[in-house]
Amino acid sequence: NSPDPGFDAIKERYPIGLDDIEAKLRPLWEEVLDIRAPHHDDDFFQCGGNSLTAIHLLVKIQRGVSLVSNVYN
């Protein structure tokens, strides 16, 4: 057990093998949906998302991909 009990709760909720894509998408979900620590199985719309927030999320993802693409080009 870690000294922070909240960390143990997060470890239980998220699988150890959380991949890079999920790790990058989680903060975007948190920002767009104004929620904390979304689970990888959470439904975007049940977490408060709608068509407008989905577009907002897609724009943020696209901007992030463009930044990475520009770095490699």
DSSP string, the chain: --S-HHHHHHHHHS-TT--HHHHHHHHHHHHHHT-SS--TT--TTTTT--HHHHHHHHHHHHHHHHHHHHHH-
Of all residues in the chain, the percent with pLDDT exceeding 90 is: 34
Between 67 and 45, where is the model more confident? 45
pLDDT for res 21: 76
pTM to 2 decimals?
0.61
